[in-house]
Structure 1
Amino acid sequence: MSAEWLSQVLLPWVLASVMMAMGLNLTRADFTHTWRHPRRILLGTGLQIIALPLLAWALVLLLPLPPLAAAGLLLVSLVPGGATSNMFSFLVQGDLALSVSLTAIAAVLAPFTLPLIMGWNLEQLGLDGQGISLPYWHTVGQLLLVTLVPVLTGMLLRRALGERPLEWILPKVKVLTGLAMIAVVLALFVSHAERLPMLLSIETLAVLLMCVLGMALGHLAARRLRLPHASVRAITVEVGVQNAGVAMMVAFVILQQPAIGLVPLLYGLLMNVPVFLWMLACFWRDRQVAISPERS
């Protein structure tokens, strides 16, 4: 299986299927309660759209990253969260409705904000002089086809099918799309294995730092505003966990730059390490609170 076929054909289709599965999970009730607390929405969205790209730029300025690797890191900071962030929010007993709402808002905004900001990023890195550019409307169209359109299609299908058939379909769709996305990421990892050893140094550090610092930023900001415990966990995940699949699609399919796509590929694999460690810490804290409620 060629790397080109994986990145150009299979990745966009699998990504669209994951986003459609997310749409199948969305209901009006997911948004109704959340929108009664606009502070949580504004904080989560602001951190994702503004703070995370600034954090990525800080890492680019602090670490001696090659321009193409820097572009990959900046690209990851601009993509929305995805089904993965919703899954982690669920596992740590976070506010799932808030997590889903933040993911949906980011999925609506990203097709328009990503090409605009990423085009400016490429200029600042001097890559536009090397013929690397991101045509705005072409990119908007491509992102809409693999993010927003599948989400809306999933929501319409949910409404058409009704609740009873979905009780049987949804668990299977979640498993199939999740396994398909994992398989594509691993296949891309193997197909680009010869290029990865050179990245397992400063690029790995940058990827791990962005995930860890993004989670810390979300956690501290939400705690500062004294949000409910479940909302703090949801925002922590949403800021720290980005949809690496979208970033890879932009790099491999639209930009035609595998060297830029390798950092999102690394991110898609390595982000799980700090997230799982944080999950273990959450489980330990919940157990301690259950044993000694006065500690909560």
Structure 2
Amino acid sequence: MSAAWLSQVALPWVLASVMMAMGLSLTGADFARTWRHPRRVLLGTGLQMLALPLLAWALVLLLPLPPLAAAGLLLVALVPGGATSNMFSYLVQGDLALSVTLTAIAAVLAPFTLPLVMGWNLALLDLASGGLSLPYWQTVGQLLMVTLLPVLAGMLLRQALPAPWLTVVLPGVKGFTGAAMVAVVVALFASHAERLPSLVSLETLAVLLLCLSSMLLGHGVARRLRLPHDSVRAITVEVGVQNAGVAMMVAFVLLQQPAIGLVPLLYGLLMNVPVFLWMFACLWRDRHPASAIADRR
């Protein structure tokens, strides 16, 4: 199985199927319920779309990353969250409706914002002068095809399917698409193993710092604004967990730059380290509420 086939064919199709499965999980009631508290939605969206790219730039300026690796890190900060962030919100007993809403809003905005901002990033990194570019409308069209349109198709299919069928089909579809995405990522790792940075490298440090600092940012701002406990957890996950699959597709398929795609590939694996540590900390605090109250004092 060639690396080109995996990145050019398998990745976009599997990514679209994952987004469609997410659409099957959505209803209009999810959004209506969340928009009763618009401040939470605006905060989460602002942190995702504005604060996270600035945080990535701070890391690029702080760490002496090679230009293509820096481009990969900035690309990760521009992609929307995905089904993975919704899964983590569910596992930590966060506000799942808020998590899904933030993911859906990012999926609507990212096809239009990502190619524009990434074009600026390439120019600022002096990569555009070398002929590296991201055609705006072509990128918008391809991102719509693998993110927003599959989500809408999933929502329409949910309306068409009888409720008993949905309860039978949905778990299987979500399990199959999730397993397929994991399989593609693992296969990409294997096919690019020789070119991937080592686990002791600036790229690894940058990826871990981006995930950890973005989670701390989301958690800190949400707590400072005294949002409900479950909303704090949802915003923490949504700001900290990015859809590495979309970033890989942009790098491998649209930019035709595997060197840029290696950082999102690394992120797809390593982001699980801080996320799982935080998830276990949340579960421990839930089981020991007295200790958590004492810690806050």
Q: Distance in 2 between matches of 1:199 and 1:131?
A: 31
TM-score by length of 1: 0.98
Contact 2:122 2:133 in 1 (8 A): yes
Equivalent positions of 1:128-143 (< 5 A) are 128-143=128-143
SS in 2 for 1:33: helix
Q: Distance in 1 between matches of 2:197 and 2:66?
A: 15
The Cα of 1:32 is off from its aligned counterpart by 1.2
Where do 5+ consecutive residues of structure 1 fail to align? none
Partner of 2:51: 51
Q: Does structure 1 residue 172 correspond to structure 2 residue 165?
A: no
Runs of 4+ in 1 over 3 A off after TM superposition: 197-200, 291-296
- Partner deviation per Cα, 1:182-214 (whole Å, 9 max, x = no partner): 010010001000111457400000000000000
The Cα of 1:94 is off from its aligned counterpart by 0.1
The AA in structure 2 aligned to 1:103 is T
C-alpha distance 188-214 of structure 1, shift in aligned 2 (>3 A): same
C-alpha distance 169-129 of structure 1, shift in aligned 2 (>3 A): same
Q: Does structure 1 residue 63 correspond to structure 2 residue 63?
A: yes
Where do 5+ consecutive residues of structure 2 fail to align? none
Q: Distance in 1 between matches of 2:199 and 2:9?
A: 25
- Partner deviation per Cα, 1:113-171 (whole Å, 9 max, x = no partner): 00000000000000011111000000000000000000000000000003221100011
Partner of 1:109: 109
Partner of 1:231: 231
- RMSD over equivalenced CA pairs, Å: 1.3
Q: Distance in 1 between matches of 2:293 and 2:105?
A: 37
Contact 2:197 2:204 in 1 (8 A): no
User: Percent of aligned positions with the same letter in both sequences?
Assistant: 80
Q: Distance in 1 between matches of 2:96 and 2:261?
A: 30
**After the TM superposition, which of the residue ranges 27-36 and 148-157 deviates more from structure 2?**
27-36
Q: Distance in 2 between matches of 1:294 and 1:211?
A: 26
The AA in structure 2 aligned to 1:102 is L
Q: Distance in 2 between matches of 1:294 and 1:74?
A: 37
Equivalent positions of 1:145-294 (< 5 A) are 145-197=145-197, 200-289=200-289
Q: Distance in 1 between matches of 2:92 and 2:237?
A: 9
Q: Distance in 2 between matches of 1:4 and 1:134?
A: 19
SS in 1 for 2:77: helix
How many residues in Structure 1 have an aligned counterpart in Structure 2?
Answer: 295
**After the TM superposition, which of the residue ranges 199-208 and 186-195 deviates more from structure 2?**
199-208
C-alpha distance 292-118 of structure 1, shift in aligned 2 (>3 A): closer
Partner of 1:88: 88
SS in 1 for 2:133: coil
Partner of 1:97: 97
Q: Distance in 1 between matches of 2:163 and 2:91?
A: 23
Partner of 1:76: 76
The AA in structure 2 aligned to 1:265 is L
C-alpha distance 164-115 of structure 1, shift in aligned 2 (>3 A): same
